[in-house]
Structure formats: structure tokens, C-alpha cells
Amino acid sequence: MIRSIFQFCKRHHLVDILAFLALMISGALILVRGAEDQGYYWQWFRVPKYIYQFDDGRFIAGPILEGLKITLNITWISLILTYVIGLVTALMRLSNSLLARAIARVYLEITRNTPLLVQIFFMYFVIAPILDIDRFAAGVLALSFFEGSYASEIYRSGIVAINKGQWEAAYTLGLSTYQSYRYIILPQAIRRILPPLTSQAVSLIKDSSLVSVIAVYEMTMYANEIASETFLVFEIFFTIAAIYLALAITLSRFVAYFEKRTQVAS
């Protein structure tokens, strides 16, 4: 009897599900208790109007959704730039030119070994006035150069993983270096690195919150403002955390789906 119950539970992962629920509930309780111990009063009912409102049945986006729009804008523009910068840097690192390799190397060492926050400030206070660009552009550029350095390593690993014989075959057929990359090497490399490259987009979404430090009004910036005006600190930040989570998970699922599909194809 006990054994059959145990087997039933095992078959349906009941034990795992219960353990998971217990963990989640106790985590939530600790959070709530912790906040209450500090004399915090939860006021979730005040949150929705910062997300959206209905005025005469008309949908009006609240500041959080306005911020989300900017966050998404920052993300997709930065993403394109990230992929371009990453590819160019990877090709420079693999090129025969010592100058190109040196430039790529210096760029990589600097961007990967300094905090993103500092890079954003540097871009905004030093580079932006020179180029005469606004804070949005400065934020996008800082993010793109930061993520681009990581993307370049992904590209590079994908390119060097291609069998040397592919280069040799392309070479003996008379293809130029550009043609070899364009028709032989990159189509194969990109197929392999698509999953990590898309994961890069998830990092980008999360890191985009950092451009709030130069007062770009994206989601985190709005959240900061609302929180300091209303003292709904936990509610607002939990809300935007949930939105970031939803974005990231959607993308990750998409990556997983893609990974499966490319596996089947190859």
C-alpha cells in the first residue's frame, strides 16, 4: 500500500512538486515577514495604476509600460549593434593584419575588464559630448560595445570550430577570403552559435536597466522615480523584476525552441 503510493508519487513527480512548492512558499513568507519586521505595509492595490489605467474605457499606458517601451527600444537597437560589433571584432581578431588584431584585442580587454556602469558613465560624460549624441544614444552605444565584446568571443569560437578542411576546399576552388567567409564559413558557424548568440539578447535586456544611471527613462528609471515618490519600493521593484523575468524567459524559451529546430535540421 505504502509502496504503491510512493510509486504513484514518484511517477508523477509529486514529491518534487511538493518540495518545490514548499520552498517557494517559505521563500515568499520569509520575504513578507522580513518586510513586515521593518514595519513595511504592502500596498499592492496601488501598483496597477502605474502600469496602466482605463480612462473612459480608453487604455492608457502607465509609466512602467512607457518605460518598458523604451527598454525594448534600447534592447533591439543595441542587439543589432551588438551582433555587428561582435562579428566585426571577431573577424578582426582572426585577420592577418597585426593592426586589426591589436585594435580588437585592446577593445576586448577594456570592455570586458571594466564595470559596465563605468562604461556607461564614460560614454555619457566623455564620448557623448564629443559626438554630440543624446543620452539614449549614449546608453545604446555603451551597451552595444559592452555586449559586443562578449558576442565577438561567441562568433570567434564558432568560426574557429569550423573544420580547417572547409577553408582549404574553399581556397583550392579559388574563393577569396571574403567569399569563403560569406558562403562557406559564416553560414555554418552562425548555425552553431545561434543559441548562445540569442542568450546574449537575454543579458542585454537585463543590462539595459543600468542605463537608468544616466537618466534614460526606461523601465528601471521610471520604477526608481515611482518608488521614491510613493514609497512602494518592494511592490514596484517586484513588478518590474517580474516583467524582466517574463521577457527573459520568453526569449530563453525561444532560444530552446530554436536550438531544437536547428538540431533536427543538421
Pick between residue 166 and residue 230 the one whose CB is nearest to other proteins. 166
SS3 category, 266: coil
Q: Are 119 and 107 in contact (CB under 8 A)?
A: no
191 binds other proteins (CB under 8 A): yes
Pick between residue 20 and residue 183 the one whose CB is nearest to other proteins. 183
CA dist 65 and 176 (Å) reads: 49
| Segment lying near other proteins (by CB under 8 A), choices 5-13, 16-24, 150-158, 186-194 | 186-194
Question: Using the rule CB under 8 A, which residue among 94, 175, 227, 251 binds other proteins?
Answer: 175
Q: Determine the size of the site formed for other proteins (CB under 8 A).
A: 19
Pick between residue 88 and residue 175 the one whose CB is nearest to other proteins. 175
Q: Is 147 exposed, middle or buried (0-12, 13-18, 19+ CB in 10 A)?
A: buried
Question: Using the rule CB under 8 A, which residue among 8, 20, 52, 183 binds other proteins?
Answer: 183
| Segment lying near other proteins (by CB under 8 A), choices 69-77, 137-145, 177-185, 236-244 | 177-185
Pick between residue 73 and residue 188 the one whose CB is nearest to other proteins. 188
Q: Is 90 exposed, middle or buried (0-12, 13-18, 19+ CB in 10 A)?
A: buried
SS3 category, 218: coil
Q: Are 36 and 166 in contact (CB under 8 A)?
A: no
263 binds other proteins (CB under 8 A): no
- Alpha carbon distances (Å) from 136 to 132, 215, 261: 12, 9, 36
Measured from the Cβ of residue 139, the count of other Cβ atoms closer than 10 Å reads 28
CA dist 242 and 235 (Å) reads: 11
| Segment lying near other proteins (by CB under 8 A), choices 92-100, 158-166, 244-252, 256-264 | 158-166
57 binds other proteins (CB under 8 A): no
163 binds other proteins (CB under 8 A): yes
Residues across the chain = 266
Residue type, 73: N
| Minimum gap (Å) between residue 254 Cβ and other proteins | 22
| Minimum gap (Å) between residue 263 Cβ and other proteins | 13
DSSP state of 59: E
176 binds other proteins (CB under 8 A): yes
Question: Using the rule CB under 8 A, which residue among 184, 202, 219, 240 binds other proteins?
Answer: 184
Q: Are 172 and 218 in contact (CB under 8 A)?
A: no
Residues that bind other proteins (CB under 8 A): 163, 165-166, 168-176, 179, 183-184, 187-188, 191, 266
